[in-house]
Amino acid sequence: MPIMTTGSFTGATIPTVPGNALKLMIAAARETPQLDGNLSSLVFNDPLPSGSGTTWNSPKFGSLVAYSLTEGVDLVNQQNIAVTNVVITPGEVGVQVNFSKKSLAQWSEKVATRAGGIMRKAMDRKKDADVSGLFTGLDRGIGAAAAVFSIGHLGAAVAQLRGGANTTGTAIAAGAGINVTDGPFNAVVRPESLHPLWVSIIGTAAVTGAVTKATTPAATGAVGDDLIRSGVQSLFVGNIAGVKVYANANIAKDATDDAIGAVFHEMAMVFIPFKHEGAGGMFTKDSDDGRSVLMTYVEDYGFGELDGMLGVSLTLDATIPTS
């Protein structure tokens, strides 16, 4: 057999469309990242039992006044206890997808299982949207458009919540401490709004990587070395000014880059789940012709303001941070 001594060898031509010539490698299917909701767990939860009607009712008793008495003189200051009622009517909320059985057989992924997780996250986002929509209705509010979140906002909110009914320029008689609460308090804002608070607390040195035990943060955030280190480690401030702070990307932001969060006691708002056979979570059902599977996830719940005096809305800048 003759041996080639000149010329060159070339590799086989790879077809543009592999067809049956190449085995394709397909990575595991990815999911769109979604925030796990948490707002419904931060407010008062009180399930509506079956057989209790279609509404949840919460009566609230008013306050009374005590008077100094004179010996031998009958007490004649009779008072009535006022009662107000909050009514919440739960409603069904659902997510539904439809798979042909042929497509389920073709997929290498466990599509139905993955879909179930995605549907639950969609429900979480809906709950967060519902609860955060109540923030604008709270009786008091601080901050303003383009306001940069600071410890002062948290301190002011706590002072208002602990101070009770107080109107600027109006006298308050001694002993009139009503509609007050000592906490615990939660604060929920968008992550972009939280960023400047975090920077002010841990200080410029921490942001640039130069933080040490002796490093003192910026003047606006001089709150101690331990807090600085915990902030650097977690990129999150847990408890500040008596408030447990959360970031939540499910809070709405307007076109001018402002968002409304809140500082509140759990009794400011209420979440009412209603469990029944039609809203017990995930259901699957074959189509009439048996060729597809319908997956339905349903929950039944209500939500609303329970006591607007126990919360303070926070209007803050939510511009995308760059440093």
Structure-derived torsion over alpha carbons of residues 28, 33, 36, 39, reported in degrees to the nearest 10: -170
The reported pLDDT for the residue numbered 267 is 95
The reported pLDDT for the residue numbered 107 is 77
The reported pLDDT for the residue numbered 174 is 86
End-to-end CA gap in the chain: 72
Q: Phi-psi bin for 124: left (phi > 0), alpha (psi -120 to 50), beta?
A: alpha
Mean pLDDT by 10 residues, the chain (323 residues): 46 54 55 68 92 91 90 90 94 92 80 85 93 96 95 94 86 84 92 88 55 44 50 56 89 97 96 87 85 91 95 97 88
The reported pLDDT for the residue numbered 216 is 41
The reported pLDDT for the residue numbered 234 is 45
The reported pLDDT for the residue numbered 284 is 86
